[in-house]
Structure 1
Amino acid sequence: MLRQLIDPANAVTAAGLVLSVIGINCAIAGLPEGGVAIVLWALLADHLDGVVAQRTQGRAAETGQVGKNLDSLADLVSAGIFPAVTSIIVGHGSTISVAAGTILVVASALRLSYFNVFGSPGGRFIGVPTTYAVPVTAIIFLFRPVIPAATFPNLFAFVLVAIAVLHIAPLRVPKTAGVMYLVVTAFCVGASIVLATRT
C-alpha cells in the first residue's frame, strides 16, 4: 500500500491530509485561526494533486483509483471534520455546534460518496463541492474580530449547516478552471497569512 504514495499526485494528496490533521490539532489546542490557515494549504494541495496526476506519464489505472479515493477521504477530513471540530471547539461543545458539525460531516461524506459513483456529468458537479467549506470557514474567521464573541459560535454553526445543505442540493456547479485556480491560490495564500498573524 505504501508504494501508492510514491506516486507524485498521491503524495501531494497525503501531504494535504497531514496538513489537515495538524490543522485539527491547532483547533483543539485553542488556535482555530492557525488551524484554518494550515488547512487552506491543504486545499491548495487538493487543487495541485489533480494537475500533478494529469501530467504524470505512465500512471497505472489502479494508482489513479487509489488516488481518487484517497482524495475523497482527504477532502472529508479537511472540509468536513476540520470545520466540524472547529465549530465544536469555538462553541464549547454546545448542542448547536455539535449538531452543525455532525450534519456537515454526514453531508460531506454523502456528497463525496455520490461523486465517486456518479462523477460530474456534463463537466459540472452535482451539489456544491465539499472543498468550498474551507474558504467559507476562512472568510468567517477573517471577519471574527468584528463579530460579537457571543454571536460567533452560533453564526459559524449556521453557516456550516447552510454549506451542508448546498453539498447535497441538486445544483450544477462548474469545475474550477483557468483563472479561478489563480484566484483560489491567491485567496488561500493571502488569507492564511492574515489568519496566521492572529494566532
Structure 2
Amino acid sequence: MAVALWAVLADHIDGIVANRAPNRDPDAAKMGKSLDGFGDIIYGAVLPTAIVIQLSHASILSLATATALLVAGAIRLSYFANFGRSSDGRFLGVPLSYDVPLLALLFLLQPFIGAELFEWFVNVCFLLLAAAHVASIRVPSPSPAMYAAISIFVVVSSAALVMGRLSSHV
C-alpha cells in the first residue's frame, strides 16, 4: 500500500513533466496518453481490487466489489479516453486516482474502525467509489495546491503505513 501511493504521485507528475517537455514528438504524446490509461487501470483498479479480495479472504462481497471496481474503472477510462474533460476542465465521474489514497486512508484508520467492521467497511466504500467512477459527478481538475496536498499525503501516509507495519512486527 505504501508503495502504491507513489504510483499516484508518479501519475500526477508525469503529465506535468510531459506537458513541459520542449519539442515533444506528437507520436510520443499519443503513446504516453495510452500508457497513462493503462497505468491508471493497473494502480487505480486492479491493485485495489487485489487488496480488497485478499483483505476479505475472497468473500462473495469482495468478489462483487472487485467486479464492480474493474468494470467501473474500464468504463471510466474508456469515457475519458474518448471525451476527456468537459469544456470547463472538469472530469465526469471520480477519477481512478482516488482509489489508492482512499484505501491507504482506510488502512490508516483501521485501528479506529475495528477489525470486525474493517473488511465490510472497505468493501462498502469501494462499492460506492465504483459507482462514483461512472456517475455524472463533475470533479474539478487538480490545481497546483491540490498537487502539493497529494504529494504531502503520499509522503506522510506512506511513511505512516511503513512505520505501522514495522512496529507491528517488533
**1:60-95 deviation per Cα after TM superposition (whole angstroms, max 9, x unaligned):** 111111111111110111110111100000100100
Counterpart for residue 67 of structure 2 = 102
Counterpart for residue 25 of structure 2 = 60
Counterpart for residue 187 of structure 1 = 153
Counterpart Cα distance in 1 of 2:66 and 2:120: 12
CA positional deviation for 1:50 = 0.5
Counterpart Cα distance in 1 of 2:79 and 2:34: 12
Counterpart for residue 11 of structure 1 = none
AA in 1 matched with 2:158: S
Counterpart Cα distance in 2 of 1:170 and 1:161: 16
Q: TM-score, normalising length from structure 2?
A: 0.94
Counterpart for residue 53 of structure 2 = 88
Gaps of 5+ in 2: 166-170
Counterpart Cα distance in 2 of 1:196 and 1:78: 19
Counterpart for residue 48 of structure 1 = 13
AA in 1 matched with 2:53: I
Counterpart Cα distance in 2 of 1:143 and 1:121: 34
Counterpart for residue 86 of structure 2 = 121
- After TM superposition, the structure 1 = structure 2 runs for residues 128-147 of structure 1, keeping only pairs within 5 Å, are 128-147=94-113
CA positional deviation for 1:148 = 2.0
CA positional deviation for 1:117 = 0.1
SS at match of 1:108: helix
Counterpart for residue 162 of structure 2 = 196
Q: Relative contact order, CA 8 A, sep 6+: which one is greater?
A: 2
Counterpart Cα distance in 2 of 1:149 and 1:171: 32
SS at match of 1:151: helix
Counterpart Cα distance in 2 of 1:172 and 1:45: 24
Provide runs of 4+ in structure 1 moved above 3 Å. Answer: none
Q: TM-score, normalising length from structure 1?
A: 0.80
Gaps of 5+ in 1: 1-35
How many residues were matched structurally?
Answer: 164
**1:148-193 deviation per Cα after TM superposition (whole angstroms, max 9, x unaligned):** 2121111101111111100000111100012111111001110000
| Aligned sequence identity (%) | 40
SS at match of 1:179: helix
SS at match of 1:170: coil
CA RMSD of aligned residues (A): 0.8
